Each structure stands twice: as structure tokens, then as C-alpha cells.
Amino acid sequence: MTTNNDNRLNMLWEGCLRNDRKQQEMLYKLLAPKMLAVCMRYAKDKDEAQDILQEGFIKMFKNMHNYRGDGSLEGWIRRIMVHAAISRYRKAKNTVLVEDFADSNINGGTSYNANSLEVKELMKLIRQLPDTYRSVFNMYAIEGYSHQEIGNSLGMSELLSRTTLHRARTILKNKISSLTSINTRCYA
């Protein structure tokens, strides 16, 4: 079942294929907020996310003819945004994996309550992860990539992808635990 939004998207897409600049602008305005949210998961801050968004839309408009109609158009565009983020990460990658969270206080068995966090707070914590950790976490936990796909995309082994995901989760658990214990003390 197609929705009015799907129909509008498809109509705009047809106009974009004809190089209609007005239709391209309307498509951008329609999808930019959703795609910016995707980019924010991979970026350190909003400025970097906006750069990734622009790069993604440029790639999308250059490769429009490659969309074959398999799956949703919005899903195809979303994947381009993820690949734009990965591409940016690869260009910037000149450091080794280092856990640069001195305050991560890794202690086993820490309990935490992620339900008490708002999505905005959780996304902020994810953005604080080191680049590699953030990319692996997003690709696995949010985008649904396998460790093999992540390894191939980021130029690492499958085992390193798994280890990086584990470390990212540990950092997030500890940060969530710290936040929730602070909140519990404030409201006690």
C-alpha cells in the first residue's frame, strides 16, 4: 500500500530525473530533515552532519539513474547517506583505535536504565563516541549491517568490528549508568 508521501516522493523523483531544478529542490526539502537525522548518528556535531547530508545529496543526484526501483526510494537515499558518512570517516581515518574516554570507568555488571533517557540524550552520547566506535555502533545497531559488511566498509576485520561494537556498548552503558545515577540522586 503506497501512501500520499510515497506518491509525492515518486512524482518528485520523476521530475528530478528530467533535471527539473524545482523538483530537485522540493525533493531535498522533503527528505533533508529525515536524512539529517541519519547523518547526525555518524557525525560529531550538526555541522559535520550537514556536510555529510550535502555530500549525500550530491551523490544521490549524480547517481539518480542507478535507482532500479528495488525497495523503497527513501531507503535507497538513506543508504547513500550512510555511505557518504562512511566515506567521510574513511578519509578522516588516520588514527588507531584508542579508547579516549578517560571517564568511562569500565566496571563489570553495571546496571543502567536506558528507558529513562530521552532519544535526544542517547543520540548525544552516541555522538560522543570516538569515530570508529560511533560508526561501528551505528552500522550494526541502527542500520542493521553485519560485522562482515562493517569490516568490508571500514577496512577492518570482522573480529575487530565485533570488539569495537563491544567497547562502544560498554562506554555507552557506563555513560548511561552515570547519567541515571546522577538523575536518581537529583530526584531522591
Domain-by-domain residue ranges, the chain? 4-92, 114-187
Rounded Cα distance between 183 and 138, Å, is 26
pLDDT tens sequence across 137-168: 999 988 889 999 999 989 999 999 999 999 99
Q: Do domains 4-92 and 114-187 have the same CATH topology?
A: no
What pLDDT shows up at residue 177?
Answer: 83
Report the percent of the chain where pLDDT is more than 90: 47
Phi, psi of 113 (to 5 degrees): -125, 90
Domain with residues 114-187, CATH architecture: Orthogonal Bundle (1.10)
Distances (CA, A) of 31 to 17, 40, 152, 170: 16, 14, 28, 33
pLDDT tens sequence across 77-121: 999 999 999 888 777 664 333 333 333 333 333 333 444 467 778
Nearest alpha carbon to residue 165 among 186, 185, 146: 146
pLDDT tens sequence across 174-184: 888 887 776 55
Rounded Cα distance between 88 and 57, Å, is 14
Q: What is the helix (H) or strand (E) element at residue 23, kind and residue range?
A: helix 21-42
pTM for the model: 0.59
Start-to-end CA distance of the chain, whole Å, equals 50
Return the CATH number of the domain spanning residue range 4-92. 1.10.1740.10
